[in-house]
Structure 1
Amino acid sequence: MNMAIANITVVSHTYFYLLGIPGLEDQHIWISIPFVAFYIIALLGNILLIFVVVTDHSLHEPMYIFLCMLAAIDLVLSTTTIPKAITIFWFNSGGISLNGCTTQLFFIHATFVAESGILLVMAFDRYIAICYPLRYTMILNTSVIIKLGIAVYMRGAVTIFPLIFLVKRLTFCKNNLLPHTYCEHIGLAKYACASIRVNIWYGIFVLLITVVLDIFLIVASYSMILHAIFRMPSQDARHKALQTCGSHICVILLFYIPGIFTFLVQRFGKQIPPHIHIIIANICMLAPPLMNPIIYGIKTKQIKNSIYNLLFQRQK
């Protein structure tokens, strides 16, 4: 009997099927409508933002260059997840190889960490602009901007890259049906036969040294920024300084609040139906790319003027 058990070969799945939103399969077509609309708006908005910043020399300042980096990250984040979700909704085409799954989860988590890093850099930019305005261009020169951008992108890639090996070492013999619209680390790892303790602890470690640390530093930066603003003698100067930070604060809240809510729901919301988990997770992927260019386009006068000139002045 023992010999028979020992001779059993465990077959590991190398191909998976993303099911979309289980329980709402008959509504997939209707759900796809806002997905497609929001994805197109996100694509056009971020491409337009990048084009305006690159072509308008008056926007070649640190704040707008960092915004351009944020738009590029948003394009990668949305394109990594939404097109696959749409093919599931339209054609029930949820098949994905293990290599494809690990590639998708790498880009999802790496761009999430990178976006958090860009938001931290933008908070640092606002801190220098308000607290050290006379030294702003000297501190944030072209060399520093390039180094910060490379550091942000590299941090996302380097911290998430080990997840590929942590996932590929696992044997997936339980199930190859993934109740989601995209592959994510723990969502895939929990279908492994072996222990995933290392995966869980490494995921927590990455979260602590990236996103949690970024949140702490952003809060510290804005504490010093607000302290400096309320010490300004002129009310107009205080209003202008707060206005320059308004767009960034909106983007920060839009990025972190859904993410924190999703984390809490996954850990403690056991009574919440699975389709609600999946819908919230997709909102986290789509909301920042959709809203970031809209927020900056509406609240930033220079960008608004540049877009107006691009769209209307050239038609005359």
Structure 2
Amino acid sequence: MFYTNVTRIKDFFIMGFAGLSQEYYGPVSALLFLLFLAIAVGNIFILVFVKCERSLHKPSYLIFCHLALTDLAFGTITLPKIISKYWFDDGIISFNGCFAQMYFVHFLGATHSFILMVMALDRFIAICAPLRYTVLFTNTTVSVLCGISWFIPASWMVGIVFDALRLPFCNSNIILQCYCDHLTVTVLGCENVREIQVVALGLAMFSLLLPLGFIIFSYFVIIVAVMKMSNSDGRHIRALSTCTPQLLITCLFYMPRCFVYLANNVGFILSDPFRTVVIMLYSLLPSAINPIIYCFKTKDIKENLKKRFLTRKINNSTNKG
């Protein structure tokens, strides 16, 4: 543990939803537990289903698996402690545990953003260069690109967390959030934390805006390319329908984050309770919704699920007969 000459903070206290009456602790913990179950069951199902269905061993579905893995890991890192806070009145997290959680929160968020960029690249090549898609975008290519998406944030996040670790802490040890993130922890430092926060914000903006810029550009080119297609055989609809799941997943990830960043920069002050709710919604709700999008908005997964269901139904009828 890193101790300072100013004080020796051994633990932090997760405040969660500030101002929440104790009578709501039970319902809130139950709601968060159901959210955790939805994230765990949904994303594990996607990982297992794609693994077992050989027909889904394609670049697009490997990307879905990487996204599902980041969603599952993020929910596992953040939800158990806040559930414990409201279920067992245990909001204490160790000093080192808080910084470990901080590392994974930002690492997984940045990784998810870069993998969304890979997903946009997949659709860009599939629609704009369909004849070369199977050559340019193979499973190996996806594995390399997604591997880079995991490696780059993992490396730079070590420096960000290490800088925060070196701060002397002389203020409150109360985390005004449902989990430890860089901003809520570093504001508790008693030195000038502005430089550390600016560096962290710059890297956060890089991991958010670079992928988002590429995604906007790629989908703009895709829409232009689709508009130039002949619509006699319904190619417009088929081409755009292949992008629907990706667009929904991308909007769920980026739009609330952009709202929070823009609100802060234009001087619109969000109250701590409202900010906590918004951050929890954009951090965790997409992780629970994404598996539903994969299953019901993706043709191949939907058809494989139908085949599995019909086969089981026929087998059950045969056994009863």
> Which TM bucket (shorter chain)?
over 0.9
Amino acid at match of 2:63: F
| Amino acid in the other structure paired with 2:275 | H
Structure 1 residues 129 and 28: alpha-carbon distance in aligned structure 2, compared to 1, 3 A threshold: same
Q: What is the CA distance between 1:16 and its match in structure 2? A: 0.8
Moved more, 226-235 or 126-135: 226-235
SS at match of 2:47: helix
Cα deviations by residue, 1:224-249 (Å, 9 ceiling, x for unpaired):
11111111012500110000001110
Give 1:84's aligned residue: 81
Mapped pair 1:119 → 2:116: yes
Unaligned runs of 5+ in 2: 316-321
* Match of residue 318 from structure 2: none
Aligned ranges 1:120-159 → 2 under 5 Å: 120-159=117-156
2:180 aligned partner: 183
After TM superposition, list the pairs within 5 Å mapping 1:255-294 onto structure 2: 255-266=253-264, 268-270=267-269, 272-294=270-292
Letter in 2 for 1:145: V
Q: How does 1:98-113 map to 2 (within 5 A)?
A: 98-113=95-110
Equivalents in 2 of 1:313, 1:189: separation in Å?
55
Please report how far the alpha carbon of residue 149 of structure 1 lies from its aligned counterpart in structure 2 after TM superposition: 1.3
Equivalent in 244, 250, 262 of residue 246 of structure 1: 244
User: Shift of residue 250 of structure 1?
Assistant: 0.7
Which contiguous aligned blocks of 4+ residues in structure 1 show a shift greater than 4 angstroms? none
Distance 1:61 1:302 in 2: 10
Local SS of the residue matching 2:179: coil
What secondary structure sits across from 2:93 in the alignment? Answer: strand
**Is 1:43 aligned with 2:4?**
no
Counterpart position of 2:94: 97
Judging changes above 3 Å, is the alpha-carbon distance between structure 1 residues 282 and 224 closer, same or farther for their aligned structure 2 residues? same
**Please, which of 192, 204, 207 is the counterpart of residue 210 of structure 1?**
207
Shift of 1:297: 1.0
- From 210, 226, 230, the equivalent of 1:229 is 226
SS at match of 1:174: coil
| Counterparts in 2 of 1:30 and 1:46: CA distance versus 1, 3 Å | same
TM-score for both structures, normalised by structure 1: 0.93
- d(CA) in 1 for partners of 2:310 and 2:35? 24
CA apart distance, 1:72: 0.6
- Structure 1 residue corresponding to 2:295, chosen from 270, 294, 297: 297
**Residues in 2 aligned to 1:164 and 1:41: alpha-carbon distance in whole angstroms:** 30
Give the structure 2 partner of residue 22 of structure 1. Answer: 18
Residue correspondences, number = 307
Task: Sort the Cα spacing of 1:261 and 1:33 in 2 relative to 1 into closer, same or farther, 3 A.
Answer: farther
Q: Deviations over 1:131-185 (max 9, x none)?
A: 1111111111232122101100012212322122111110111111222221000
Identity %: 31
Task: Give the deviation of 1:312 after TM superposition.
Answer: 5.6
Q: 1:286 to 1:208 in 2, by over 3 A?
A: closer
Measure, in 1, the Cα distance between the counterparts of 2:25 and 2:177. 12
Return the match for 2:6 from 4, 10, 22: 10
Answer yes or no: is the 8 Å Cα contact 2:26–2:87 preserved in 1: yes
Aligned equivalents of 1:38, 1:304: Cα separation in 2 = 23
C-alpha contact 2:62 2:139 (8 A) present in aligned 1: no
Residue 73 (structure 1) shift: 0.7
**RMSD between superposed Cα atoms in Å:** 1.6
Separation of aligned partners in 2, 1:273 and 1:311: 48
TM-score by length of 2: 0.91
